[in-house]
Structure 1
Amino acid sequence: MIFSDRQYAVSKDEAAKLKQALEHVRSDTQKHARLREIEVKALESQILDIEREITEYDLLKSGAVTFGESFSLADLPRVLIQARISRGMSQTDLADALGMKPQQIQRYESTEYMSASLSRLIEVAAVLNVRVSESFSADTSAADGALYAWSDAQHVDWSRFPLKEMVKRRWLSGVNLMEAARDYFLEAAGPQFATALHRKKVRSGNAPNEYALLAWQARVLQLARNEMAHGKLGEFELNDNWLSGLVKLTRDENGPRKARDLLRRHGIALVFERHLSGTYLDGAAMLSPLGHPVIALTLRHDRLDNFWFVLFHELGHVFLHLFGSLRLDFFDEEDGNGSDGIEREADKFALDRLIPEDVWRKCLSRFAMTAEAVKIDAERLGVDASIIAGRIRKERNNYMILNELIGSGTVRSQLEEAQP
């Protein structure tokens, strides 16, 4: 883990040198192909590890992650370090707050606080606003940029799953529901989805129930696996040139159903599952165990404008973030805070793919805000009127206008019928 700006600079320099070495190995035709392949994979692995640490430090330093929760005492040292960075404090700042020398904080962090007494850990936690539940919270909303991870699936408290709701939805059955929940999760998702390999980054205006997130993710991955088992998914390529065809489907009355088919052909599983109480979700993007992108929608708001924006937002995560060095599963509430750089990128991706910014600025309906003006612009741009109406309502923060154009009650029935 990177502890300071100096280490950050060293890591950036090291990553650059490793990339140069990688290019040299790739171009070395004198070396045996098998040996060259081994060296390439080793260098790529080192680069990914360093880039992951760099990106994590960027997120913490910028304030994009303002809340993190861990579920093992062994993770407390890392939580303390993350909390310090997220609060914009250097090691010297923390030392000053504790009346200590900076070198002592450096020693603590370099050894992951192994030499610190319990009383000292309590002091550090108090300064950094780290709660007993092994989480840290910045002064902003705890839900904005929340990050959840367990060290190991064995640390999951299965009794905290929404067991009654899972039974009601027929995900679980039996006498021992805690054991059934554990078996369900491990079979549907796998233990890796409860570890740092699949940290859950949550954009929400409300503090989510992390166990409901886990249960919902397991269900989503189970549905995606069913599609893969039936051979419905094509090969995925990190190429978004086909999205113009998806935009055209917004004008089709069966657009949501056809969108699912189009995504399937391009190797992306699109599944629907109602959100669980306490999750406040509209959509999510994650990688399946086999490496296929999975986009899940809750249709919490059964409207066309919401469907298309959330879908393109999650596609933004797929093409911009999902295959990056920082392994995250993205859980999004449409009305969550937009201060997070990663979420702003996904928002911009969605808006620009649906209606490019330079085109949007010329739309008369932005100012006239009448149904007739919206329909004229929609016809000219080749998108459904709900796209324009929803964007106007969002920008004006007025959800009482253009109600007749947002396609209320037209999405859920299509996706529920089509889902296996």
Structure 2
Amino acid sequence: MIYSDKQYGVASARLNELRDAVAAAKARETDQAWLKQAEIAGIKSQIADIEAELAEYDLLKSGQVSFSKTYALEELPRVLVQARIASGMSQTDLAEKLGMKPQQVQRYEASDYMGASLGRLIEISKALGVKASGSFEGPKQAGGSVFAWGDADDIVWGQLPYREMIKRKWFDMPRGANPVERVKEYFLRAAGPQFATALHRKKMHSGNAPNEYALLAWQARVLEKARGKIEAQKIGRFDVDDRWMPQLVELTKRKDGPKRACELLARKGIVLIVERHLPGSYLDGAAMLADGGTPVVGLTLRHDRLDNFWFVLMHELGHVFLHLFDGLRFDFFDEEDGSDGDTIEAEADRFALDALIPSDLWDQCLSRFALSEEAVKIDAETIGIDPSIIAGRIRKERGNYTILNDLIGLGQVRAQLEEAGDDLD
């Protein structure tokens, strides 16, 4: 982990060296191609690690994360460093606040606080706002939450909502079996232990405090269903190229648009899974990578409306094209009405809005002021989209969810996806 601006500079310089090394290795002629490829792969692995550390430092320092939680006691040193950076404090600032020399804070962090007494750890935790549960709540409340486990052994399996999972028949519960052991077996089979590690941190954009174990369980179910489609060879090859998005927007005009959207995404290498949210998750959609790097978009249809379906789908696709492959190593979970102020989520929102209604066309929509169904339909016909999209955007921008109710496509999504064969249990 990067602890300071100085280390950030060193890491950046090292990153450039490694990139140069990759270029040199590619240009070098050799008779042993396999050895050359192995060398390049090894260097790229180092590059990915450094890029992830730089991205995390940037994210923390920008104030885009206001909450982080971990469960293993040995992860406490990392949480303390996260809290310091997210609070905008340097090592010197923290030392001054504690009345000690900056060199002492540097030694503490460099040694993962191994030399610190319990009393000192408590003092530092209080100074940084870190709670005994292993979390921090920074001063910049940006509506972002991050959940991370060191590894699968850190999970308290009994906190997974196994009763609800059994009720939904996600796994069998033989008479006399231990439900905690069964839910652990299910998660490891459905998602895999790697999805409960720092390589798959959960970033939640929400206006509510989510239950992180509900997120984890829901993700396992989505990945299980996605793997079934991938193994059945129903998913094409994915390229990070969004030039086909107009084809998706064109489908909004069709009555069976959501069903056809599933089919189009599959051809483009993206798995779309619909799975009801679990209690306490306040979830509308998510974007993640399955094993092998296939993008997976999960939707809950918590609000069974056309306007919600299209916006949330486009928002998650924004994460796919803008963030999933940029080294942040986040699985993104979203509540449609999450808090503002998060740069990453704002980028995904802008991607969705521009894909559905380009800004220049939105400026020309008279229905924004007329607020009549007739005006909305005229604008929708002019732009070439379903009226629900315009109606939904007007309602959201005005903060008035009592208008244009007959145009938002209430109850028109879940039924057709069920008909398409998606298991929406």
Do both share a fold (TM > 0.5)? yes
Amino acid at match of 2:72: S
Match of 2:46 in 1: 46
- More moved, 109-118 vs 157-166: 157-166
What is the TM-score with the length of structure 1 in the denominator?
0.97
Aligned equivalents of 1:404, 1:370: Cα separation in 2? 11
Q: Deviation at 1:161?
A: 1.3
Match of 2:190 in 1: 188
Maintained 8 Å contact 2:392/2:408: yes
Q: Determine the structure 2 residue equivalent to 1:96.
A: 96
Cα offset for 1:225?
Answer: 1.4
1:358-411 CA-to-partner distances (Å, cap 9, x unmatched) read 221122222222211111111111111111111111111111111111111101
1:350 to 2:352 alignment: yes
For residues 195-214 of structure 1, what are the alpha-carbon distances to aligned partners after superposition, in whole Å with 9 as ceiling and x for unaligned? 11111000011111111111
Residue 168 of structure 1 is matched in structure 2 by: 167
Give the TM-score taking structure 2 as reference length. 0.96
8 A Cα contact 1:272 1:416, kept in partner: no
Please state whether the residue corresponding to 1:286 is helix, strand or coil. strand
- Following the alignment from structure 2 to structure 1, what is the Cα–Cα distance between the partners of residues 131 and 313? 36
**AA in 2 matched with 1:351:** L
Structure 1 stretch 295-304 or stretch 350-359: which is displaced more? Answer: 350-359
**CA-atom RMSD in angstroms:** 1.4
Within the candidate set 219, 222, 232, 2:221 is matched to: 219
For 1:60, the equivalent position in structure 2 comes to 60
Select which of 371, 379, 385 maps to 2:387: 385
Three-state SS of the structure 2 residue aligned to 1:285 is strand
Other-structure match for 1:123: 123
Contact preservation (8 Å) 2:30, 2:36? no
Q: Structure 2 regions of 5+ residues with no counterpart?
A: none
SS of structure 2 residue aligned to 1:63: coil
Would you say the 8 A contact 1:251–1:382 is kept in 2? Answer: yes
Letter in 1 for 2:113: Y
Please tell me whether the aligned partners of residues 302 and 410 of structure 1 are also in contact (alpha carbons under 8 angstroms). Answer: yes
Give the Cα–Cα distance (whole angstroms) in 2 for the partners of residues 226 and 44 of structure 1.
30
Tell me the distance in 2 between the aligned counterparts of 1:184 and 1:80: 33
In the TM superposition, 1:317-336 aligns within 5 A as: 317-336=319-338
Q: Aligned partners of 2:221, 2:32: CA distance in 1, in Å?
A: 46
> Residue type of the partner of 2:219?
Q
1:202 — aligned with what? 204
Aligned AA (2:159): R
Q: Which amino acid counterpart does residue 358 of structure 1 have in structure 2?
A: D
Q: Cα distance, 1:34 vs. partner?
A: 2.8
CA distance in 1 between counterparts of 2:84 and 2:90 reads: 7
Could you tell me how far 1:90 is from its partner in structure 2? 0.7
1:415 equivalent to 2:417? Answer yes
Residue 71 (structure 1) shift: 1.1
Give distance in 2, aligned partners of 1:348 and 1:394: 14
**3-state DSSP class of the match of 2:341?**
coil
Aligned mates of 1:23, 1:344 — CA distance in 2: 34
Structure 2: how far apart are the matches of 1:410 and 1:64? 35
Separation in structure 1 between the aligned mates of residue 74 and residue 418 of structure 2, nearest angstrom? 43
Further displaced range: 194-203 or 17-26: 17-26
Secondary structure at the residue paired with 1:258? Answer: helix
CA distance in 2, matches of 1:35, 1:160: 46
Q: Is the 8 A contact 1:69 1:135 kept in 2?
A: yes
Deviations 1:312-342 (A, max 9, x none): 1000111111112121100000100131111
1:373 maps to which residue?
375
Q: Which residue does 2:304 correspond to in 1?
A: 302
Equivalent pair of 1:67/1:147 in contact (CA under 8 Å):
yes
Q: Hey, what does 2:13 align to over in structure 1?
A: 13
1:29 deviation in Å? 3.5
Please list the CA deviations of residues 234-289 of structure 1 after superposition, one character each: whole Å capped at 9, or x if unmatched. Answer: 11111111111000000000000110011111111101111001000000011112
Structure 1 position 27, deviation (Å): 2.4
SS at 2:158 equivalent = helix
The aligned counterpart of 1:105 is 105
Structure 1 stretch displaced more, 99-108 or 29-38: 29-38
Runs of 4+ in structure 1 over 3 Å off: 29-32
What SS does structure 2 have at the residue aligned with 1:170? coil
- Supply the AA of the counterpart residue of 2:156: D
- C-alpha distance in structure 2 between counterparts of 1:144 and 1:31, whole Å: 54
In 2, the alpha carbon distance for the partners of 1:113 and 1:257 equals: 54
Match of 1:240 in 2: 242
User: 1:140 Cα shift?
Assistant: 4.8
Distance 2:391 2:69 in 1: 38
- Bigger mean CA deviation after superposition, 39-48 or 215-224: 39-48
Structure 1 251/108 Cα, relative in aligned 2: closer, same or farther at 3 Å? same
**Distance in 2 between the 1:31 and 1:394 partners?**
62
The residue identity in structure 1 corresponding to 2:185 is: D
Question: 2:259 matched to 1:260?
Answer: no
The residue identity in structure 2 corresponding to 1:217 is: Q
Partner of residue 313, structure 1: 315
| Partner SS state of residue 313, structure 2 | helix
Distance 2:366 2:18 in 1: 51
Q: Is 1:203–1:333's contact at 8 Å kept on the other side of the alignment?
A: yes
Structure 1 residue 20, shift from structure 2 partner: 2.5
| Kept in 2: contact 1:144–1:336 (CA 8 A) | yes
| Structure 2 Cα separation of the partners of residues 158 and 255 of structure 1 | 39
